C-alpha cells in the first residue's frame, strides 16, 4: 500500500510514514468552511432578510491514526517544528500533493500489554493522534484547480 509522506521543498528532509492514518476511506475530512449570516436590514420583513456569505476558510486535511513506532512519533514532531518556519509538502497515499502547514498535532499515549510492532523503543504503549494540516497550495490530485485557495 502506498504511504503518506512529508518532505521539505528542497527534498533534503523526507519522511515516508511508517503507518498511514487509520480512516479506511482516507482522511477523516478534507474541506473548508464558509460563514453564512442573515441580514434582516436588507430585504425587509418578508423572508427575514438576505443571506450573506462570508469568506471561505482555509482548506484543511483532518486525520486520525495510531503511531506504533518511536521513529514515526519523533519524525511527526520534527515536521511539526519545521512547519513553524516553512511550509512542507504532504503527499497522501493516492499521490496527491499539497503544500501545508500543521495546524494541530495531538498524540495521546495509550498503554498496552505489549507493542509487538516496536517492542524495543516503545514496549508497552503506542500513540493515538489527531492531526490537522492547513493547505496552502494543491499541486496535484482530484482537487487540483477545483477549489479557490488563499495563502
pLDDT tens digits along 66-79:
999 999 999 999 99
Give the pLDDT confidence of 77-103 residue by residue, as tens digits. 999 999 999 999 999 888 999 999 999
Instruction: Give the predicted TM-score (pTM) of the model.
Output: 0.80
- The whole domain housing 21 covers 14-30+58-151
d(CA 21, CA 1) in angstroms, rounded, equals 12
Question: Cell numbers 480512516 correspond to what residue?
Answer: 23
In a domain, 20, yes or no: yes
Residue 33 burial (C-beta neighbours within 10 Å; 0-12, 13-18, 19+): exposed
- pLDDT for residue 131: 92
In a domain, 150, yes or no: yes
In a domain, 7, yes or no: no
| E strands, the chain, in order | 5-7, 14-16, 29-31, 34-39, 50-56, 59-67, 88-91, 97-111, 125-138
- pLDDT for residue 25: 46
Provide the 8-state DSSP code for 140. S
Sign of the CA dihedral with 84 first, then 149, 106, and 3 last: negative
Reading the block at residue 138, the C-alpha cell is 494543491
Question: Cell numbers 514515526 correspond to what residue?
Answer: 72
Into how many domains does the chain fold?
1
In a domain, 39, yes or no: no
Question: Cell numbers 521513529 correspond to what residue?
Answer: 71
State the alpha helices, DSSP H only, in the chain.
70-82
In a domain, 9, yes or no: no
In a domain, 36, yes or no: no
In a domain, 23, yes or no: yes
- Mean pLDDT of the chain, nearest integer: 84
d(CA 42, CA 57) in angstroms, rounded, equals 25
In a domain, 126, yes or no: yes
Amino acid at each position: 500500500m502506498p504511504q503518506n509522506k512529508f518532505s521539505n521543498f528542497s527534498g533534503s528532509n523526507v519522511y515516508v510514514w511508517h503507518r498511514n492514518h487509520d480512516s479506511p476511506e482516507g482522511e477523516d475530512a478534507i474541506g473548508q468552511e464558509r460563514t453564512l449570516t442573515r441580514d434582516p436590514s436588507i430585504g425587509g420583513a418578508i423572508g427575514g432578510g438576505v443571506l450573506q456569505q462570508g469568506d471561505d476558510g482555509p482548506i484543511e486535511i483532518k486525520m486520525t491514526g495510531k503511531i506504533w513506532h518511536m521513529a514515526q512519533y519523533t519524525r511527526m514532531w520534527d515536521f511539526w517544528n519545521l512547519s513553524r518556519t516553512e511550509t512542507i509538502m504532504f503527499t497522501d497515499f493516492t499521490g496527491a500533493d499539497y503544500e501545508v502547514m500543521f495546524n494541530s498535532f495531538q498524540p495521546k499515549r495509550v498503554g498496552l500489554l505489549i507493542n509487538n510492532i516496536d517492542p524495543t523503543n516503545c514496549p508497552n504503549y503506542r500513540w493515538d493522534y489527531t492531526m490537522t494540516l492547513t493547505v496552502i497550495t494543491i499541486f496535484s490530485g482530484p482537487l487540483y484547480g477545483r477549489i479557490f485557495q488563499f495563502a
